[in-house]
A and B are shown apart, each in its own frame.
Chain A
Amino acid sequence: MTPADKYLAKSSDIAARVLGDETIIMSSIDSTLFSLNATATVIWQAADGKTPLARIIKNVCEEFDVAPERAWKDAEELIEKLVEHGILLVSDHPIQQ
């Protein structure tokens, strides 16, 4: 799977709320809390299972004036962490929810 082929979806085992510039996500499995900054919030909100990651990153670059290489690196790190805690799903196909 190349990064451009990835699709993201939020787990159903979470609760999330945008507060100011941050998104606070709670895993309802273990009550762990995660805080996403404004950039990460854009990725999180776009994680609908249908939008390819490449398009999400493109939007981030345009909205925050970030270089694509940097945006990809940061996104990969974020996705890895969220997947590890079971609050984000990732697939090389669109995800039905």
Chain B
Amino acid sequence: MVGYGVPMETASTKSIEMVIEIGGIPIAMQTTDPTFIAILKKRYGDYVNAVTNPEFTFAVDLVPPDTFHSDADAEVWLSNGEWRLERGDFRASWNPESRQGTIRQSSNPYSFDSVLRIVHTLLLARTGGFLLHASSGVRNGKAFLFSGLSEAGKTTMARLAPPDVALLTDEASYVRKVGDEYLAYGTPFAGELGEPGKNISAPIAALYLLAKSAENRIEPIETSMALRRIMRNILFFAHDKELVQLVFESACAFVTKVPVFQLSFFPDQRVWELIG
């Protein structure tokens, strides 16, 4: 029975949609909470795309902050064709076939940001790309990546960048294979710098593996060593044999195509004289 004069949706339950496009892949999120939308709009800034049709849509179910109590690390696995993403602060699922997903989390941008990162790692794995622990910037139309584990100098390189460098990220570089070349895209995934990268892309000219030193020096590095170092720095969370093999193949293809060097550097602006 349909009641007369009773709206099917009240203002408080109406779903609001926002599309966030990273790496050329638009993903929509829907929530009923305008305050949460406002938080995300501020965080994702230039990456919010109001006109593109999303490739995937996530319904975000905001729950009270004390709903989940665990500090558990992220676990990602495939179950009956659906990805399950769980961490201490969120529970999410995503069906690549239906292109729909759900996220249960409290009203904070960090949990959503983590889900977004994981989803992008899954999408990139099937297309020859990956998210790499690396800062990156564009100079003279070419992208340069600076990779290393914590404290290696990723954020330092970003901070030292001269004004003619457009920073793509100081934390997680977005690498996509497009045709025969590799492109780096800006990401909103910020590290210590706390600022989103510029939303642009450029062909990758070189990847530098960082090491702090008393002097600035660029040295060639053997392809097999480059592969080992890159594999340590690729962000990937899924327990999935097929995708892990694909990520390995992607890393192999990358190091045979893109020049990889060791960059020993003293942390001042002179290091950028060697780049570009």
> Using a CB–CB distance below 8 Å, which chain A residues touch chain B?
13-15, 17, 19-20, 22, 24, 26, 28-29, 31, 33, 35
Contact = CB atoms under 8 A, between A and B. Distances in A.
A15 B224 CA distance: 14
B75 to A, nearest CB: 15
Interface in B225-275: 227-228, 231, 241-242, 244-245, 248-249, 252, 255-256
Interface in B180-218: none
A24 B245 contact: no
Contacts of A15: 244-245, 248-249
B58 to A, nearest CB: 27
Contacts of A22: 224
Contacts, number: 41
Contacts of A24: 224, 227-228, 252
Interface residues of B, number: 15
6 contacts: A17-B252, A26-B245, A28-B241, A28-B244, A33-B231, A35-B228
Nearest to A29: B241
Nearest to B239: A29
B11 to A, nearest CB: 49
A45 to B, nearest CB: 16
| 5 residue pairs, one from A and one from B, having the closest CB atoms | A15-B245, A15-B248, A17-B252, A28-B244, A19-B224
Given A17-B248, A35-B228, 9 more contacts: A15-B248, A17-B227, A17-B249, A19-B222, A19-B223, A20-B224, A24-B224, A24-B228, A24-B252
A29 B245 CA distance: 10
B241 A13 contact: yes
Given A15-B249, A28-B245, A20 B222 contact: yes
Nearest to B242: A28
Nearest to B222: A20
A19 B241 contact: no
Chain B interface main SS type: helix
A19 B227 contact: yes
A49 B252 CA distance: 26
B256 A26 contact: no
B241 to A, nearest CB: 4
A28 B251 CA distance: 14
A26 B236 CA distance: 14
A33 B252 CA distance: 13
Nearest to B245: A15
A33 B249 contact: no
Contacts of B244: 15, 26, 28, 31
Nearest to B253: A17
A42 to B, nearest CB: 17
A35 B241 CA distance: 20
Contacts of A17: 227, 248-249, 252
A81 B39 CA distance: 52
Given A17-B252, A20-B223, A31 B245 contact: no
Interface in B12-48: none
Nearest to B228: A33
Contact of A31 (B231, B252, B255, B256): B231
Contacts of B255: 19
Nearest to B243: A28
Contacts of A13: 241
A13 to B, nearest CB: 6
A45 B224 CA distance: 17
Contacts of B245: 14-15, 26, 28
